[in-house]
Amino acid sequence: MPTTPSRFEGFFSPRSPLDFIGFALLTQTLTWFTDGKPIGFVLVMLFAIGWWLLNRYRDRQLAKSTRLVIHKEAPRPASGLVLLLSPYDPKKPELKTPKVLNPLIDRLLQPAVEQADFEAINLFGSNLRPQIEAVNYHWQQGVLQEIWLIASETYPGGRGSEDAAEILERYLRWQYDDREALPERYRQIKIHRQGLVVKDYDYRGLWQLGEQIFRQSAYKDEAIAVDVTGGTKMMSVAIAMACIPPNRRMQYMDAQRDWQGNPIAQGELTPVAIDIDPILYLPD
């Protein structure tokens, strides 16, 4: 099992009231034993040897972690999936003008919708394709039950991703909800979007959102996968901060690339697990 880092060092360089208490008690104890008594020097030597052995053990454990070889592996099936969203980008130049795109989006958000409406905004070639493929991967595993869509706030003079969240939610409900052709267990995937909007630079707020999802969901931490592919770079960093505690899982959608390293427009997208536990937490 992973273990949390030791706070032993805090007794020698206190950074909190608890560390300071430990530092004071340790200092006082050594003072008592070394106050002109020969046994005190023996105890100091034993303490120094024990400290040296502890550091040696930790150095060996750290050396093991540095020899860790990373392979691309598919994520384990998740019951919950967290997705980050950037402002909607249809990729096609003719759709980038709001005068052209907005009426098509308004049509898409009507109760009756068809696949042609999604194709009209180039949804399957847009920057939402990685999120669509991520949902499809976990849905095919047969355990996906909830999805959280985290968007950036739209503010005066800026452009958020709330519209992208609305588009993606519309597609997911059309694709996966209440479809008679689907087995009963697939018909009601819960999609959360309300209250999951932060400023794109507010990494503290997004970290708190991530913590809230992990703490308030009905699943164990390892049953939730956080996809860091979408969103801004700041959003990806912030949500990764929420995944530092042991057993929290991340993934990204690996794009097929050309010889110059650029993503191929309609190339294959493959989910790849990001496992940081063996790196951050040394085994017992």
pLDDT over threshold 60, residue 10: no
Q: Give residue 256's identity as a one-letter amino acid code.
A: Q
**Beta pairing class for 249-255 and 269-274:** antiparallel
pLDDT over threshold 60, residue 180: no
| 3-state secondary structure at position 249 | strand
* pLDDT for residue 5: 44
Q: CA geometry: angle at 127 spanning 121 and 132, to 5°?
A: 90
pLDDT over threshold 70, residue 16: no
What mean pLDDT, rounded, does the chain reach?
A: 81
Give pLDDT tens digits for 23-53.
Answer: 677 776 767 666 656 666 666 677 677 777 7
Q: Which residues of the chain form CATH 3.40.50.11700?
A: 80-89+127-280
User: For tokens 């960093």, what's the residue?
Assistant: 237
Q: What percent of the chain has pLDDT over 70?
A: 72
From residue 264, give the alpha-carbon distance in Å to each of 137, 205, 239: 20, 33, 26
Work out the pLDDT band at 219, boundaries 50, 70, 90: very high
pLDDT over threshold 60, residue 209: yes
| 3-state secondary structure at position 225 | strand
Contact status, residue 86 vs residue 232, Cβ threshold 8 Å: yes
pLDDT over threshold 90, residue 118: yes
Give pLDDT tens digits for 80-105.
Answer: 999 999 999 999 999 989 899 999 99
User: For tokens 């030791």, what's the residue?
Assistant: 6
Q: CA geometry: angle at 238 spanning 235 and 242, to 5°?
A: 135
pLDDT over threshold 60, residue 185: no
Give pLDDT tens digits for 239-282.
Answer: 999 999 999 999 999 887 665 566 666 678 899 999 888 877 76
Domain 80-89+127-280 coded CATH 3.40.50.11700: yes
